[in-house]
């Protein structure tokens, strides 16, 4: 097992290396110049040239990449060109907010998705099944910014049940305040995942429910509830877990739009601003950080398989 | 691990999730923001730094101007210069020496006294690489605003003298700019480059809490020399999404916001919980034409005039920006007062005249061209809609422009690379026409400068250069009026509109005025 983990960890190195090259190349080859965005309309050609040199942007791309990658290996993410602060502490600060949002969305997606999926499978071909799957399809097709803005207009502006945006109220704060602010963005972000999870749970449950041992369980007199929640769900869990792991990565990425719509102070919102202002160190550091998280979450999911299904062993 | 523990874990996590869900559903609705001493302001983007020399965006400037002040300032809601940290000043005959008498009763937020030495300290920090507080920063404004200063002398505690290299008429205006705010030397010595997180100025408010992405809290400064402001707390929160901003202002979550989408203006005006103020600024929105190009024939004045006649600017102002602008007849908006020239050649919407001019120019069948349009951008109003409208207007007289859209960051780079035909807008943080006319039309500002169309008229050059060095304001205004007449006749741009600032706020906020420099001077307001 330990050998397996070590091997998997080693495999993340080329992945992150590839990501670093990709993000670096995309940023530097995209049109737009950080110096001009930074200096703004007041700048003259001379100061542009001067700052470009100071930031090392006059060097060949390969040299720039090597310098940056070298520092990254040492754990130095560099300084944000816009905020004039260290990149890594900023990422960590924002990541906390993103994690809260992602966790909220995932909680919502799991409760709703797994719940609906199981019920739909148990009541296969019933009206509930059809309606639930219709909603799941609709949830899948709805773009985040639409559901987000619509929910602001309905629940914040018209009904006034919940705050429009942000993570805390301007005055006050605390856990309840955070939760009130979390509801709309978490549901917006989690809706698509809930739909995917519901569909996957349903089909995976249906497959399991057709197996012999389920028939055996029923035959020996187990109650239907026990059959479904214990015998079937446990065996359907592997598929659900895989989807969950992938959804976590999707939610981290999807949070960019949700954070922008709800002004959630997370990593995504910071990244959008960093991209607009061509804050190279911030964008590169941020993307690499999120990629690393994604890779490790996938690794963790693989580890979980062994726990959920004792038949799976890694060597 | 045994099944039981898995089961227990599952049960426990379900419980936690249910608890989280139930508490969130019973949580109170949106908090009402304001008591009579607190105003919550919804910013479009969060402030990024509180080192005034490093600020490059309006949102940060709007907050930072409460903290820092310059020697001169603007009378509330105007572009008129007034004494701020300086009580009075004298300008030598030759326009080279400015001597400022400073206010004696001013303190920095850290309690240290404001004096002549602190003025010199703040400015030398930007220009002298050996200065102890220079640090590792890049001072982007130093060259423009301080570059013409030969020396700053401390005459006594309350007298400071600036010697200029050449006469510079807008100098008093320069001193109002955000980056010319005076910082406490004691704080600079203590914090160095990190002054950005620990700002100490002389302004009516001081920074008391800054949670990036969440909120920025300013508190009234008890020792403020013009009296402690009536609103004691200013809380700035970033709300990126326009609909969320609208929702927050109508539910009372915030007390003031701006840049509201024009299509919601009518609904907002009817909302009893919201007051809407609009005000003209120095903004100008235009399409620059490369006057050196023969294909498309933008080097021909008749063609450029024809394009001005071909575009229905009234319709753009009325239908696209929904009346939040004024048709532009010149690069200067009327807010420039005596420097603004209303008697220039006019280009009313007249497609027939445009066709006649094109025929006279030798291109009766029109021509094709490429028209650069940003997807969005600071001050660009509705760039794509406006661009498409202009494209259709031009097509009606035979000029077929292909629109090329770009993301704002990329656009700014391309714009400075001699574009054929491109949209741009210009906002001015100070009230001097030099900042508009010299930078956009003088031949010394050819690309990559901001004279994107490489416009050159020797008479205009001479007028603008002269207006830059004389200090007699009436004489300067006259020169600028003459220059406008020449520029408008040459038509290096398609002149489109001057946008208005739109601010929505709670009716409880009294005495609020829109400032031409985009500032929100809450020290002059109060809440009822």
Give tens-digit pLDDT for B76-110.
Answer: 988 889 999 999 999 998 999 999 999 999 999 99
The phi, psi pair for B513, rounded to 5°, reads -130, 145
**Average pLDDT in the A94-102 region?**
92
**Which residues in chain A have Cβ-Cβ distances shorter than 8 Å to B58?**
none
Residue with tokens 């930072």: B64
Interface contact flag, B241 A42, Cβ < 8 Å: no
Give tens-digit pLDDT for A281-314.
Answer: 898 899 889 888 888 888 888 888 777 777 777 6
| A42 CA: distance to closest CA in chain B (Å) | 7
**Which residues in chain A have Cβ-Cβ distances shorter than 8 Å to B213?**
94, 97, 167, 265-266, 269-270
Q: What is the pLDDT of chain A when averaged over all its residues?
A: 85
Q: Decide if pLDDT at B23 tops 60.
A: no
**Average pLDDT in the B184-202 region?**
95
Q: What is the pLDDT of chain B when averaged over all its residues?
A: 90
Report strand pairing: B38-43 vs B233-238.
parallel
Give tens-digit pLDDT for A200-217.
Answer: 889 888 888 888 888 888
Interface contact flag, A165 B143, Cβ < 8 Å: no
Q: Decide if pLDDT at B329 tops 90.
A: yes
Is residue A231 within 8 A of residue A211, CB to CB? The reply is no
Query: Measured on CA atoms in the order B149, B154, B157, B160, is the torsion positive or negative?
Result: negative
Interface contact flag, A82 B48, Cβ < 8 Å: yes
Q: Decide if pLDDT at A105 tops 70.
A: yes
**For residues B7 and A173, what is the distance between their CA atoms, to the nearest angstrom?**
35
Q: If you average pLDDT over each of A49-63, A124-138, B138-152, B451-465, which comes out highest?
A: B451-465
- Best of A38, A42, A101 to mutate (most B CBs within 10 Å, chain B): A42
pLDDT recorded at residue A307: 75
CB proximity list for A115: less than 8 A, separation 6 or greater: none
Report strand pairing: B256-258 vs B38-43.
parallel
**Average pLDDT in the B499-520 region?**
92
Q: What is the ipTM of this complex?
A: 0.83
Distances (CA, A) of B206 to B222, B345, B523: 10, 49, 12
Residue with tokens 């574009």: B419
Nearest to B29 among A39, A153, A161 (CB): A161
Rounded to an integer, what is the distance from CA B497 to the centroid of its chain?
Answer: 16
pLDDT recorded at residue A234: 80
Distances (CA, A) of B284 to A166, B252, B280, B325, B498: 33, 33, 10, 10, 4
Minimum CA–CA partner of A179 in chain B: B24
pLDDT recorded at residue A40: 66
Nearest to B24 among A30, A45, A180 (CB): A180
pLDDT recorded at residue B419: 94
Nearest to A166 among B6, B237, B250 (CB): B237
**Which residues in chain B have Cβ-Cβ distances shorter than 8 Å to A309?**
none
**Average pLDDT in the B257-262 region?**
87
Q: Residue B217, exposed/middle/buried by CB under 10 A (0-12, 13-18, 19+)? A: buried
**Which residues in chain B have Cβ-Cβ distances shorter than 8 Å to A165?**
239-241, 244, 247-248
Nearest to B20 among A83, A107, A156 (CB): A107
Q: Which among B376, B393, B124, B89 is positioned nearest to B259, based on CA atoms?
A: B376
Q: Decide if pLDDT at B27 tops 50.
A: no
| Token pair listed for B357 | 């001019």
Is residue B34 within 8 A of residue B249, CB to CB? The reply is no
**For residues B142 and B124, what is the distance between their CA atoms, to the nearest angstrom?**
10
pLDDT band at B303 (very low <50, low <70, confident <90, very high): very high
Q: Residue B467, exposed/middle/buried by CB under 10 A (0-12, 13-18, 19+)? A: buried
Nearest to A179 among B20, B31, B213 (CB): B20
**Which residues in chain B have Cβ-Cβ distances shorter than 8 Å to A172?**
31
Q: Provide DSSP, B474-517.
A: HHHHHHHHHHHHHHHHH--EEEEEEEEEEEEE-TTEES----TT
Give tens-digit pLDDT for B269-291.
Answer: 999 999 999 887 889 999 999 99
**Average pLDDT in the A79-94 region?**
86
Residue with tokens 């840049």: B259
For A:269-288, CB contacts with B below 8 A are 269-270, 273, 276-278
For A:2-31, CB contacts with B below 8 A are 30-31
pLDDT recorded at residue B30: 40
Q: Which among B62, B171, B64, B66 is positioned nearest to B123, based on CA atoms?
A: B171
Interface contact flag, B213 A163, Cβ < 8 Å: no
pLDDT recorded at residue A42: 61
Q: Where is average pLDDT lowest: A90-99, A247-256, B265-274, B423-432?
A: A247-256
Interface contact flag, A157 B247, Cβ < 8 Å: yes
Minimum CA–CA partner of B193 in chain A: A84
Q: Decide if pLDDT at B32 tops 70.
A: no
Q: How many CB pairs under 8 A join A and B?
A: 185
Report the run of H or E that residue A127 belongs to, with start and end: helix A127-141
**Which residues in chain B have Cβ-Cβ distances shorter than 8 Å to A40?**
56, 140
Query: Measured on CA atoms in the order B454, B455, B461, B463, is the torsion positive or negative?
Result: negative
**Average pLDDT in the B163-184 region?**
94
State whether residue B285 is helix, strand or coil: strand
Q: Is the peptide bond before B448 cis (omega within 30 degrees of 0)?
A: yes
Nearest to B248 among A164, A167, A265 (CB): A164
**Average pLDDT in the A236-263 region?**
84
**Average pLDDT in the B353-381 region?**
93
Minimum CA–CA partner of B49 in chain A: A83
The phi, psi pair for A264, rounded to 5°, reads -75, 125
**Which residues in chain B have Cβ-Cβ distances shorter than 8 Å to A263?**
237-241, 244
Percent of chain B having pLDDT more than 70?
A: 94
Q: Decide if pLDDT at A36 tops 80.
A: no
Q: Decide if pLDDT at B215 tops 80.
A: yes
**Average pLDDT in the B453-468 region?**
95
Is residue B344 within 8 A of residue B488, CB to CB? The reply is yes
Higher pLDDT, B298 or A37: B298
Minimum CA–CA partner of A86 in chain B: B194
State whether residue B214 is helix, strand or coil: coil
| A186 CA: distance to closest CA in chain B (Å) | 11
Is residue B37 within 8 A of residue B234, CB to CB? The reply is no
| Token pair listed for A115 | 């719940």
CB proximity list for A296: less than 8 A, separation 6 or greater: A12
Higher pLDDT, A306 or B362: B362
Is residue B490 within 8 A of residue B455, CB to CB? The reply is yes
In sequence order, which ranges of B141-278 are alpha helices (DSSP H)?
171-174, 185-191, 242-251, 265-270
**Average pLDDT in the A162-167 region?**
88
Number of C-beta neighbours around residue B270 at 10 A: 9
pLDDT recorded at residue A137: 85
Percent of chain B having pLDDT more than 90?
A: 72
Rounded to an integer, what is the distance from CA B296 to the centroid of its chain?
Answer: 33
Nearest to A39 among B140, B212, B253 (CB): B140
Is residue A93 within 8 A of residue A60, CB to CB? The reply is no
For A:47-106, CB contacts with B below 8 A are 47-48, 51, 54, 82-85, 90, 93-94, 97, 104
Minimum CA–CA partner of A308 in chain B: B6
Q: Where is average pLDDT lowest: A231-240, B2-11, B387-396?
A: B2-11
**For residues A303 and B360, what is the distance between their CA atoms, to the nearest angstrom?**
79
Q: What is the pTM of this model?
A: 0.85
| Token pair listed for B356 | 């006649």
Is residue B237 within 8 A of residue B211, CB to CB? The reply is no
Phi-psi region of B443 (alpha: psi -120 to 50; beta: other; left: phi over 0): alpha
In sequence order, which ranges of B273-415 are alpha helices (DSSP H)?
301-310, 313-315, 351-360, 383-396, 408-415
pLDDT band at B320 (very low <50, low <70, confident <90, very high): very high
């Amino acid at each position: 097992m330990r050998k397996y983990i070590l091997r998997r960890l080693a495999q993340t190195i080329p992945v992150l290396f590839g990501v670093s090259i990709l993000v670096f190349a995309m940023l530097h080859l995209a049109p737009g110049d950080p110096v001009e965005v930074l200096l703004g309309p007041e700048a003259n050609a001379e100061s542009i040239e001067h700052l470009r040199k100071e930031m090392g942007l006059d060097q060949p791309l390969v040299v720039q990449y090597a310098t940056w990658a070298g520092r990254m290996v040492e754990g130095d993410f560099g300084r944000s060109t816009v905020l004039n602060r260290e990149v890594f502490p900023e990422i960590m600060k924002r990541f906390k907010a993103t994690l809260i949002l992602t966790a909220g969305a995932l909680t919502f997606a799991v409760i709703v998705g797994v719940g609906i999926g199981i019920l739909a499978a148990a009541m296969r071909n019933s009206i509930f099944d059809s309606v639930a799957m219709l909603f799941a399809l609709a949830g899948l097709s709805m773009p985040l910014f639409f559901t987000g803005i619509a929910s602001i207009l309905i629940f914040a502006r018209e009904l006034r049940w919940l705050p429009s945006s942000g993570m805390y109220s301007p005055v006050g704060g605390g856990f309840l305040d955070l939760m009130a602010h979390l509801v709309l963005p978490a549901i917006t972000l989690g809706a698509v995942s809930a739909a995917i999870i519901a569909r996957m749970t349903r089909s995976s449950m249906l497959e399991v429910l057709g197996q012999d041992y389920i028939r055996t369980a029923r035959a020996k007199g187990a109650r239907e509830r026990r059959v479904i929640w214990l015998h079937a769900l446990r065996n359907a869990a592997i598929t659900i877990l895989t989807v969950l792991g992938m959804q976590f990565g999707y939610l981290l990425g999807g949070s960019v739009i949700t954070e922008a719509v709800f002004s959630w102070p997370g990593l995504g919102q910071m990244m959008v601003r960093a991209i607009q202002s061509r804050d190279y160190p911030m964008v590169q550091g941020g993307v690499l950080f999120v990629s690393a998280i994604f890779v490790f979450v996938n690794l963790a999911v693989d580890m979980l398989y062994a726990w959920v299904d004792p038949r799976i062993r890694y060597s | 691990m045994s099944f039981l523990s898995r089961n227990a874990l599952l049960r426990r996590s379900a419980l936690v999730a249910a608890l989280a869900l139930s508490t969130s559903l019973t949580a109170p609705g949106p908090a009402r923001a304001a008591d009579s001493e607190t105003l919550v302001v919804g910013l479009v983007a969060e402030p990024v730094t509180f080192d005034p020399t490093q600020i490059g965006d309006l949102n940060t400037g709007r907050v930072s101007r409460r903290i820092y002040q310059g020697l001169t300032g603007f009378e509330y809601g105007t572009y008129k210069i007034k004494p701020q940290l300086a009580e009075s000043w004298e300008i030598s005959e030759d326009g080279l020496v400015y001597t400022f008498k400073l206010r004696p009763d001013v303190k920095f937020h850290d309690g240290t006294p404001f004096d002549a030495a602190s003025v010199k300290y703040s400015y030398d920090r930007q220009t002298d690489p050996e200065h102890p507080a220079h640090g590792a920063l890049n001072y982007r404004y130093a060259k423009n605003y301080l570059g013409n200063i030969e020396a700053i002398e401390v005459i006594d505690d309350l007298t400071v003298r600036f010697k200029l290299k050449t006469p510079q008429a807008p100098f008093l205006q320069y001193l109002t700019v955000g980056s010319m705010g005076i910082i406490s030397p004691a704080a600079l010595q203590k914090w160095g480059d990190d002054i950005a997180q620990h700002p100490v100025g002389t302004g009516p408010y001081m920074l008391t809490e800054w949670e990036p992405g969440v909120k920025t809290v300013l508190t009234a400064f008890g020792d403020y020399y013009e009296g402690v402001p009536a609103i004691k707390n200013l809380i700035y929160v970033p709300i990126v999404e326009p609909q969320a901003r609208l929702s927050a202002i109508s539910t009372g979550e915030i007390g003031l916001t701006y840049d509201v989408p024009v299509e919601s203006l009518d609904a907002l005006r009817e909302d009893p919980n919201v007051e809407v103020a609009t005000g003209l600024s120095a903004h100008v929105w235009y399409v620059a034409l490369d006057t050196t190009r023969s294909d498309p024939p933008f080097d021909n004045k008749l063609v450029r005039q024809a394009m001005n006649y071909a575009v229905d600017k009234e319709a753009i102002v009325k239908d696209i920006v929904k009346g939040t602008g004024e048709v532009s007849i010149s690069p200067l908006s009327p807010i420039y007062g005596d420097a603004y020239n209303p008697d220039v050649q006019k280009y009313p919407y007249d497609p027939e005249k445009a066709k006649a001019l094109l025929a006279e120019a030798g291109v009766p069948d029109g021509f094709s061209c490429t028209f650069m349009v940003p997807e969005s951008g600071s001050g660009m109003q509705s760039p794509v809609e406006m661009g498409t409208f202009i494209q259709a207007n031009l097509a009606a007289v035979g000029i077929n422009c292909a629109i090329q859209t770009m993301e704002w960051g990329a656009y700014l780079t391309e714009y400075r690379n001699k574009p054929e035909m491109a949209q741009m807008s210009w906002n001015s943080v100070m009230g001097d026409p030099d900042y508009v006319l010299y930078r956009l039309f003088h031949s010394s500002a050819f690309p990559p400068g901001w004279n994107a169309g490489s416009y050159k008229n020797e008479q205009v050059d001479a007028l603008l250069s002269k207006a830059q060095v004389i200090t007699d304001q009436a004489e300067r205004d006259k020169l600028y009026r003459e220059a406008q007449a020449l520029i408008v006749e040459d038509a290096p741009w398609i002149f489109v509109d001057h946008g208005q600032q739109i601010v929505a706020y709670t009716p409880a906020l009294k005495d609020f005025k829109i400032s031409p420099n985009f500032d929100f001077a809450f020290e002059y307001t109060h809440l009822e």
